[in-house]
Amino acid sequence: MLRWIIWRDLMLSWRRRADVLSTLFFFVIVASLFPLGIGPETELLRSIAPGVVWVAALLASMLSLGRVFANDFQDGTLEQLLLTPQPLFLVVAGKVFAQWLTSEVPLVLIAPLLGLQLGLSKQTLVVLVISLLLGTPVLSLIGSIGAALTLGLRSSSVLIAILVLPLYIPVLIFGAGAVQASVLGFDPQPHLYLLGAVLVLSLIFSPWATAAALKISVE
């Protein structure tokens, strides 16, 4: 049953691939604005690169979060998903996984390009990708709580940002910290372990929270 939910959401994103692409372009454009605002000095860019790429990733994933449940809510398919004979947190987990695959993985794939633009070394690019691979699922998981809470509200997209961005801070600190450590020639592993720990915690807790929030919002 779970695989049908994933299949369904992947299919839907494929039919609406423009949405996925626009998130990706947003990510690239935001990250490209920083050199224009700050100046082209390689040293400076290299030192801000970890933060820039990570903050851009946070903002880009905010954009796609609004869509996780809102479309299904509008056409009534969300109700139908709530009424399927399987635990709701599994439905949520399936949807979040599909969202991660379609909206976050493309960001991870294009991030090395942005890293190159900002003058990161090959070694650091690897750390960047690993940190994003560990961190972006957390963004999807925590973000889905915000998306579920704000379902059907006016100005929900701004509200999601207000609710979710503060909760993203640990991911930002550990994720950008890993890359920063690598830039400075330190060992990025402690950061990555912490990021992994945050991932495990959010895997355990957030599907439940999202399921609870969905039930509240659909009533």
Partner 1 sequence: MTPGTYLQVTGPNGSGKTSLLRILCRLLPQEEGRVEWQGAEIHSLGEDFFADVTYLGHRHGVKDELTAEENLQVTAGVNGIKFDKDAIRSALVKVGLSGRESLATRILSEGQRRRVSLARLILSNTKLWLLDEILTSLDASSVLLVRSLIEEHIAGGGMAIVATHQELTLNAGQSDRLELKT
Partner 2 sequence: MNLYKYSSPVNFYPLAGRLIPWFAIPAALLFAAGIFVGFFVAPADYQQGEAYRIIFIHVPAAWLGMFLYVLMAVYAGIGWAFNARLSSMMASSISVTGAMFTFLSLVTGAFWGKPTWGTWWVWDARMTSTLILMFLYIGFISLQSSIEDPRRADRAGAVLAIVGVINIPIIYFSVQWWNTLHQGATIRLLQKPTIHGSMLYALLIMLAACWLYSVAVVLIRVRCIILEREQNAARFAEATI
| Minimum CB distance to partner 1, residue 163 (Å) | 24
Q: Rule CB under 8 A: is residue 219 a binding residue for partner 1?
A: yes
**Which residue's CB is nearer to partner 2, number 10 or number 203?**
203
Q: Toward partner 1, which CB reaches closer, 1 or 204?
A: 1
Closer to partner 1 at the Cβ: 11 or 109? 11
SS (H, E, C) 64-95: HHHHHHHHHHHHCHHHHHHCCCCCHHHHHHHH
Q: Which of residues 61-90 bind partner 1 (CB under 8 A)?
A: 74-77, 79-88
CA 212 – CA 117 distance, rounded (Å):
42
List the one residue from 15, 154, 155, 185 that touches partner 1 (CB under 8 A): 15
Amino acid making up residue 173: I
Q: How does 185-211 read in b/e, with b if 16+ C-beta sit within 10 Å?
A: eeebeebbebbeebbeebeeebbebbb
Residue 22 interacting with partner 1 (CB under 8 A): no
**3-class secondary-structure state, position 124:** helix
The contacts found for 150-158 with CB under 8 angstroms, 24 or more apart, are: 150/217, 151/69, 151/70, 151/73, 151/213, 151/214, 151/217, 151/218, 152/70, 152/73, 152/217, 156/66, 156/70, 157/62, 157/66
With CA atoms as reference, report the closest residue to 145 among 86, 216, 194, 79: 216
Per-residue binder mask for partner 1 (CB under 8 A), 90-129, x = binder:
-x--------------------------------------
Which of 57, 36, 35, 30 lies closest to 45 in space, CA to CA?
A: 35
Question: What does 12 interact with, of partner 1, partner 2, none (CB < 5 to 8 A by kind)?
Answer: partner 1
Task: Give the interface with partner 2 as residue ranges (CB under 8 A).
Answer: 142, 145, 149-150, 153-155, 159, 162-163, 165-167, 169-170, 173-174, 177, 180-181, 194, 198, 201, 205-206, 209, 212-213, 216-217, 219
Nearer to partner 2, 15 or 155 (CB): 155
The secondary structure element, H or E, covering residue 173 is: helix 169-183
What is the nearest approach in angstroms of partner 1 to the Cβ of residue 218?
A: 6
In the complex, least distance from residue 125 CB atom to partner 2, rounded to whole angstroms: 21
Residue number with CB closer to partner 1 (41 or 79): 79
The binding site for partner 1 (CB under 8 A) comprises 1, 3-5, 7-8, 11-12, 15-16, 74-77, 79-88, 91, 218-219
